[in-house]
Amino acid sequence: MLVIYFVGTAGSGKSTMVNSFYLWLQRNEKDVVTVNLDPGAEWLPYYPDVDVREWVSLSDVMSRYSLGPNGAQIMSADLMALRVHEIKEALEETDGEYVLVDTPGQLELFAFRESGRAMVRALEPDKSYIVFLFDPGVAKTPEGYASLLMLSASISYRFSLPTSSVLSKADILTVEERERILRWSTDSEEFLMDLERSPSGLSRELSIEIFRALENLGVYKHLVPVSSEELYGFEDLYAEVQNFYKGGDEL
C-alpha cells in the first residue's frame, strides 16, 4: 500500500486532484481508495472510502464547543489526532494498492500541527509520498513562486517524505504563463533573473535570499503541470511516484 498525501494552500485544487487521479488510476486498472482528512469539507467531488467527518466534523465541533470557524479548525485537527487509530482501522478494511489522501483546506493545520504527522506515522510511515500543489494564481509571480518553493521545502522537511511538486490547474494559465513557470522550475538561473527584474523592495530581497538557501539545500526541483479539469499530467505524476519507490531519486 502506498499512501499519497495531497497538500497545498486552500483552493489549490487538492480535492479535485484526488478525484481526477482516482479516476485516472482506476482507468489504468489500479486498486485505489480515497481518504478525506478535511473535517470542514462541505462537498467533495469524490465519494471517500474513509472519511474523517465520520469521527470529527467542523460544524459539530463549532456547535459543541461554541467556537468560531478558526478555533474549530484547530480543535478539529487536534481531535483528529486522537482518532488516528480508528481511521487506520477503517483504512485497513479497504483494499487499495494506492491510497489518495485529501488534506484540510488550511494547509498549516495538516502541516504544522501534530495531527498531520501523527496521521502519517499511524497509516503507513514507510510508504508515504507527498504531492505538493503549486496554485497557479500564486506561482505566476516570482515572489509567489519563491514563497511556494519555501512552503513545499518546509513540508518535505517536516514530514521527511519524498515529495513531488505539481503545477495544479495548469489549464487556467496562458501558454506563455505556463511555459514561464515551468522554465523557472527547471532553470534556476532564469528564475533568479526574473526575480531580480521584479520591483525592488523587501519582498524581492527576501525572495532572492530564500531562493539561494533552497538552491544550496538542493530542494529546487521541476514542476509537473497537471490539470484535473482537462485530465493531463497524471501519467507524469504517476511515473514520479513509481520512480521513487523503485529506488529512484532521494529526498
Ligand X SMILES: Nc1nc2c(ncn2[C@@H]2O[C@H](COP(=O)(O)OP(=O)(O)O)[C@@H](O)[C@H]2O)c(=O)[nH]1
Partner interacting with residue 227 (select from Mg ion, ligand X, none; CB below 5-8 Å by kind)? ligand X
Comparing CB distances to Mg ion, the nearer of 169 and 180 is: 169
CB 93 to ligand X: min, Å: 25
Buried b (16+ CB within 10 A) or exposed e, 216-246: eeebbbebbbbbbeeeebbeebbebbeebee
CB 97 to Mg ion: min, Å: 23
Residues that bind ligand X (CB under 6 A): 8, 10-16, 105, 169, 171-172, 227-229
Biggest CA-to-CA distance, the chain: 56
Partner interacting with residue 16 (select from ligand X, Mg ion, none; CB below 5-8 Å by kind)? ligand X
Tell me which residue has its CB nearest to Mg ion: 15
Partner interacting with residue 172 (select from ligand X, Mg ion, none; CB below 5-8 Å by kind)? ligand X
CB 200 to ligand X: min, Å: 33
Site for Mg ion in 10-39 (CB under 5 A): 14-15
CB 240 to ligand X: min, Å: 18
Partner interacting with residue 165 (select from Mg ion, ligand X, none; CB below 5-8 Å by kind)? none
Comparing CB distances to ligand X, the nearer of 80 and 195 is: 80
Comparing CB distances to ligand X, the nearer of 74 and 206 is: 74
CB 72 to ligand X: min, Å: 17
Closest Cα to residue 18, out of 39, 3, 29?
A: 3
Comparing CB distances to Mg ion, the nearer of 17 and 118 is: 17
Comparing CB distances to ligand X, the nearer of 34 and 228 is: 228
Residue whose C-alpha cell is 478525506: 36
CB 118 to Mg ion: min, Å: 20
Comparing CB distances to ligand X, the nearer of 103 and 185 is: 103
What is the rounded radius of gyration, in angstroms, for the C-alpha atoms of the chain?
18
Where along the sequence are the contacts to Mg ion (CB under 5 A)?
A: 14-15
